[in-house]
């Protein structure tokens, strides 16, 4: 053992490739340490108190064996929130996702200081954003320069729907990373790992239902049934493991979904709009989920699934439609806009000259800065309608551009021919 360790140290100190690996490890470590300190002293005050609810649920489940599906436990957490003056909505005390989602919060629940726990949680989410974009770059076979890549990382992470979820205390960014990783490893034919990641992405299958369906469609179309088999095994093992802490968790989950529903499709679409936006709408709005679901079904049928670009395009359109069908009170599913943004940037990049790229940088910087300023002055925090208008505008912009980009994605040779 000591001999192997000595050989490793000799390799990273004397061999040229070893020194490159060593320098990368040092650089990555320094960046993570800086991010952790920055998050602790700058961003933690802006983290939603929803994270406190999730951490307390995880503690009560794994340390005390108390189920978050029980109404008594929900009232207990609500009393803590009231005593400590947490700023949370009443529906956040209801728990309607698979119980094994709380495994993700366990490492942060054992950290005694909440501010450091939230700093670690933000840092993990930032790493997930980086990994997601890195995987998307590889899938799209896009290799921007280092400086361009860093700018895109920073500006994309600051976009509204990413920033809101980064500070929300939910698992949306982690779930998105798992979804993209399924396609990333499917590309390399690592189907066992791809299937395991697909199973892990079931931490909230309802909120990202359309995207999960797209993953199954891709795997079935490619006849990669082993990945589906391993996803079922992963879900089964998680379900069995979590039964150690709550034997009746499946019944508790189903009861909260169907008997005390709080989101579509377990409540009507009209009620979902009422709950989310606080406004009454015409009954004709009930056709929206039918139209959008039919739209996605049409694209599933007519879109090829052979290239990575086609798969990411299909995942992108599903993410945009998913947000407006699987309607819920928070912006959890809005993080699915990220693949659309990266896909479009990759196509724009191949079509832009240097002046166009500069204009794009300025535009993305201006939008990100504007959103941050709105957040700072709490305009969007106090206005659900402003948030809705911004997200609708972003979705329309992305959808229009996705159909423009579709021409180049389906005929990628035309990009290279035109350059």
Q: Integer distance in angstroms from the first to the last C-alpha of the chain?
A: 54
List, in order, residues 6 or more apart from 374 with CB less than 8 Å away. 380, 386
Query: Given this model, what pLDDT does residue 382 score?
Result: 47
Q: How far is CA 230 from the centre of its chain?
A: 22
Note whether residue 65 is domain-resident: yes
Q: How many domains does the chain have?
A: 1
Question: Chunked in runs of 10, what are the mean pLDDT values of the chain (419 residues)?
Answer: 65 69 84 92 90 94 92 92 87 88 94 94 93 91 77 68 83 95 94 95 93 94 94 96 93 86 84 79 85 92 89 92 86 87 80 64 60 51 61 77 79 46
Note whether residue 24 is domain-resident: no
pTM of the predicted structure, to 2 decimals: 0.89
Query: Given this model, what pLDDT does residue 201 score?
Result: 95
- 83: tokens are 């005593």
Q: How would DSSP label each residue in 100-114?
A: GGGGGGHHHHT-S-H
Question: What separation in angstroms does the CA of 130 have from each of 176, 201, 213?
Answer: 12, 18, 24
Note whether residue 39 is domain-resident: no
Note whether residue 169 is domain-resident: yes
Count CB neighbours of 375 within 10 A: 16
CB 129 within 8 A of CB 332: no
- 179: tokens are 């979804």
Note whether residue 268 is domain-resident: yes
Query: Given this model, what pLDDT does residue 419 score?
Result: 42
Query: Given this model, what pLDDT does residue 379 score?
Result: 46
Query: Phi and psi at residue 229, in whole multiples of 5°?
Result: -60, -45
CB 263 within 8 A of CB 257: no
CA atoms in the 13 A half-sphere facing the CB of 112: 0
Sign of the four-CA dihedral 218, 141, 153, 382: negative
Note whether residue 209 is domain-resident: yes
Q: Is the peptide bond before 366 cis (omega within 30 degrees of 0)?
A: no
Give the ranges where 303-353 is alpha helix by DSSP (H).
Answer: 308-325, 337-351
Query: Given this model, what pLDDT does residue 331 score?
Result: 81
CB 209 within 8 A of CB 264: no
Tell me 42's DSSP state.
Answer: I
Query: Given this model, what pLDDT does residue 398 score?
Result: 78
Query: Given this model, what pLDDT does residue 370 score?
Result: 58
Residue 4 class from Cβ within 10 Å (0-12 exposed, 13-18 middle, 19+ buried)?
exposed
Note whether residue 300 is domain-resident: yes
Q: How far is CA 331 from the centre of its chain?
A: 10
Tell me 90's DSSP state.
Answer: G
Domain with 191, as residue range(s), is 47-412
Note whether residue 351 is domain-resident: yes
Query: Given this model, what pLDDT does residue 362 score?
Result: 64
Q: Distance (Å, rounded) from C-alpha 384 to C-alpha 329?
A: 10
């Amino acid at each position: 053992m000591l001999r192997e360790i000595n050989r490793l140290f000799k390799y990273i100190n004397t061999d040229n490739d070893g020194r490159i690996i060593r320098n990368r490890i040092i650089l990555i470590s320094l960046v993570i340490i800086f991010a952790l300190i920055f998050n602790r002293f700058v961003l933690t005050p802006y983290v939603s108190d929803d994270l406190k609810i999730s951490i307390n649920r995880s503690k009560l489940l794994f340390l005390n064996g108390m189920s978050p599906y029980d109404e008594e436990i929900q009232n207990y957490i609500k009393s803590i929130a009231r005593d400590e003056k947490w700023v949370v909505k009443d529906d956040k005390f209801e728990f309607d996702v698979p119980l094994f989602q709380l495994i993700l919060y366990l490492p942060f629940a054992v950290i005694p200081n909440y501010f450091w726990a939230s700093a670690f949680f933000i840092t993990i989410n930032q790493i997930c954003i980086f990994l997601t974009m890195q995987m998307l770059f590889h899938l799209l076979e896009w290799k921007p320069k280092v400086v361009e890549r860093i700018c895109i990382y920073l500006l994309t992470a600051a976009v509204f729907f990413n920033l809101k979820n980064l500070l929300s205390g939910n698992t949306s960014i982690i779930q998105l990373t798992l979804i993209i990783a399924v396609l990333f490893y499917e590309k390399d034919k690592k189907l066992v790992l791809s299937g395991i990641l697909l199973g892990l992405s079931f931490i909230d299958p309802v909120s990202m239902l359309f995207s999960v369906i797209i993953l199954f469609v891709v795997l079935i179309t490619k006849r990669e049934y082993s990945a589906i088999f391993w996803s079922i095994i992963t879900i089964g093992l998680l379900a069995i493991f979590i039964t150690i802490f709550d034997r009746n968790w499946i019944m508790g989950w189903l009861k909260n979904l169907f008997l005390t529903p709080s989101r579509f499709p377990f409540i009507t679409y009209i009620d979902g709009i009422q709950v989310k936006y606080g406004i009454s709408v015409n009954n004709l709005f009930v056709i929206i989920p039918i139209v959008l679901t039919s739209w996605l079904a049409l694209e599933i049928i007519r879109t090829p699934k052979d290239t990575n670009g086609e798969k990411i395009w299909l995942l992108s359109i599903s993410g945009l439609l998913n947000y407006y069908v699987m309607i819920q009170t928070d912006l959890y599913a809005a993080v699915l806009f990220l693949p659309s943004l990266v896909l479009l940037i990759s196509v724009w990049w191949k079509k832009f000259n240097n002046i166009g790229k500069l204009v794009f940088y300025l535009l993305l910087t201006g939008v990100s800065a504007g959103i941050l300023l709105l957040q700072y002055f709490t305009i969007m925090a106090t206005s659900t309608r402003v948030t809705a208008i911004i997200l609708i505008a972003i979705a329309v912009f992305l959808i229009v551009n996705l159909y423009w980009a579709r021409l180049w994605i389906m005929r990628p040779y035309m990009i290279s021919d035109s350059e």
